[in-house]
C-alpha cells in the first residue's frame, strides 16, 4: 500500500461515522436478520454457501452478550425455516470473552448446542492476539465436551500458527485459514506481504497433511492459485475443503471458483454493531484513499452549493 494510502488508513477512525457507514455498505448485509436472510438467499441462488456473523464485538455488558446469543438462536431458526445453506461465525468478544472466561464459555456452549440441535455448525472467528490463547482454550474445552460442530480460525501472519496447528492436531479441527487482519507487533507477526503469503502456504500444507477440513479464506490471486494446487496435490474431493470470501470483496474471483466446481462460502455480517468491522474492511480496500478523498471533496462542494 502506498504511503498516502497508509496515511489515510491511519486517519480512518477520524472519518465521521456516517461516511464510514456509507463507504462500508457493500461489506455488511444490513442491520436486521431479514437483511442477512436476503443476502444469503442471493448467495445460495448463485451456487455459494454462507456463514452469517452477528456483529457485536463492541459489546461491554453481560446483557448485551446475552442478546447476541439470542440473535444467533434467531439466526439458526431462520436458516432452518427458510432452508438456507449457511452456518454461522461468532466472535468470542461478542459472547463476553472480555467479561469472563466462564461467561463466554456458557454463551458459546448455548450457541453451539442450539446449532447442534438443528444440524448446524459454528465457527469461532479469531480476533487480535490478546485473545488467541483464550480462543484456542475455549475451542478445546468445547470440543472435549463432545461438540464436534465447532470450528476455529488460524491467522497465517502469526508466528505461532504452525505450533498451534500441531497443538490442535489431536482434535482434527475444522480450520478457516486467513492472513489475519489485526495490527500486531513484529515479535509475534510477520509484517512483510510476501512473508505472510509464504506462511499461509506453510500453514495450509500443514493443515492438509494433518487431515483437517480447511476453509481457505482469501481474495489474493496468488494464494488462490496455491490453494487450488494444494487441494489437487492432496487429492481432495469437493466436500473435503472450501474456499471462503467476504461479502462485498472481489465477487468476480468467486465466480471463477464456483465455475471450476469448488465450494465457496461467503461471510455475511449483519447487525447494529457495524463500526469496528467496517473500519477493518475499509483499511484493506486498496481504493479507500480515493473514496475518502472523493467523499470529502463531495461534501465540501456539496456544502458550498447547498
Ligand X SMILES: Cc1cc2nc3c(=O)[nH]c(=O)nc-3n(C[C@H](O)[C@H](O)[C@H](O)COP(=O)(O)OP(=O)(O)OC[C@H]3O[C@@H](n4cnc5c(N)ncnc54)[C@H](O)[C@@H]3O)c2cc1C
- Binding residues (CB under 6 A) for ligand X: these are 125-126, 153, 155, 176, 178-182, 217-220, 244-246, 249-250, 267, 281, 284-286
- Within 13 A of 15's CA, how many CA atoms are on the CB side? 28
The nearest distance, CB 301 to ligand X, in angstroms, is 26
The nearest distance, CB 14 to ligand X, in angstroms, is 19
Residues marked as catalytic: 125, 176
The nearest distance, CB 207 to ligand X, in angstroms, is 15
- Residues 6+ away with beta carbon under 8 Å from 159: 188, 189, 190
Distance in angstroms (rounded) separating the CA atoms of residues 96 and 104: 5
Cβ-based nearer residue to ligand X, 115 or 288: 288
Q: Can you give the three-state secondary structure of the chain, one letter per residue?
A: CCHHHHHHHHHHHHCCHHHHHHHCHHHCCCCCHHHHHHHHHHHHHCCCEEEEEECCCCCCCHHHHHHHHHHHHHHHHHHHHHCCCEEEEECHHHHCHHHCHHHHHHHHHHHHHHHHHCCCCEEECCCCHHHHHHHHHHHHHHHHCCCCCEEEEEECCECCHHHHHHHHHHHCCCEEEECCCCCCCCCCECCCHHHHHHHHHHHHHHHHHCCCCEEEECCCHHHHHHHHHHHHHCCCCHHHEEEEEECCCCHHHHHHHHHCCCCEEEEEEECCCCHHHHHHHHHHCCCHHHHHHHHHHHHHHHHHHC
The nearest distance, CB 190 to ligand X, in angstroms, is 13
The nearest distance, CB 305 to ligand X, in angstroms, is 30
Cβ-based nearer residue to ligand X, 115 or 216: 216
Cβ-based nearer residue to ligand X, 23 or 33: 23
The nearest distance, CB 279 to ligand X, in angstroms, is 11
Cβ-based nearer residue to ligand X, 71 or 217: 217
Amino acid at each position: 500500500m502506498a504511503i498516502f494510502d497508509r496515511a489515510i488508513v491511519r486517519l480512518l477512525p477520524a472519518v465521521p461515522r456516517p461516511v464510514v457507514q456509507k463507504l462500508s455498505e457493500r461489506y455488511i448485509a444490513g442491520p436486521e436478520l431479514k437483511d442477512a436472510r436476503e443476502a444469503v438467499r442471493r448467495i445460495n441462488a448463485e451456487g455459494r454457501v454462507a456463514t452469517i456473523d452477528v456483529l457485536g464485538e463492541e459489546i461491554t455488558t453481560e446483557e448485551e452478550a446475552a442478546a447476541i446469543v439470542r440473535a444467533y438462536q434467531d439466526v439458526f431458526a431462520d436458516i432452518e425455516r427458510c432452508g438456507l445453506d449457511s452456518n454461522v461465525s461468532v466472535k468470542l468478544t461478542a459472547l463476553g470473552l472480555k467479561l469472563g472466561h466462564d461467561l463466554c464459555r456458557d454463551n458459546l456452549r448455548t450457541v453451539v448446542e442450539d446449532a447442534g440441535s438443528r444440524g448446524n455448525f459454528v465457527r469461532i472467528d479469531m480476533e487480535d492476539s490478546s485473545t488467541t490463547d483464550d480462543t484456542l482454550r475455549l475451542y478445546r474445552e468445547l470440543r472435549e465436551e463432545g461438540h464436534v460442530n465447532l470450528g476455529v480460525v488460524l491467522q497465517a501472519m502469526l508466528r505461532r500458527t504452525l505450533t498451534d496447528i500441531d497443538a490442535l492436531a489431536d482434535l482434527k479441527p475444522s480450520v478457516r485459514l486467513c492472513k489475519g487482519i489485526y495490527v500486531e507487533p513484529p515479535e509475534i507477526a510477520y509484517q512483510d506481504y510476501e512473508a505472510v503469503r509464504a506462511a499461509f502456504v506453510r500453514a495450509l500444507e500443514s493443515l492438509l497433511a494433518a487431515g483437517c477440513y480447511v476453509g481457505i479464506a482469501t481474495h489474493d490471486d496468488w494464494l488462490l492459485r496455491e490453494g487450488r494446487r494444494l487441494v489437487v496435490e492432496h487429492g481432495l474431493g469437493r466436500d473435503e475443503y472450501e474456499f471462503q470470501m467476504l461479502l462485498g470483496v472481489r465477487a468476480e474471483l468467486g465466480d471463477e471458483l464456483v465455475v471450476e466446481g469448488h465450494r465457496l462460502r461467503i461471510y455475511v455480517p449483519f447487525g447494529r454493531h457495524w463500526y469496528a468491522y467496517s473500519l477493518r474492511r475499509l483499511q484493506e480496500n486498496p481504493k479507500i484513499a480515493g473514496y475518502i478523498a472523493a467523499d470529502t471533496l463531495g461534501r465540501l462542494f456539496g456544502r458550498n452549493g447547498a
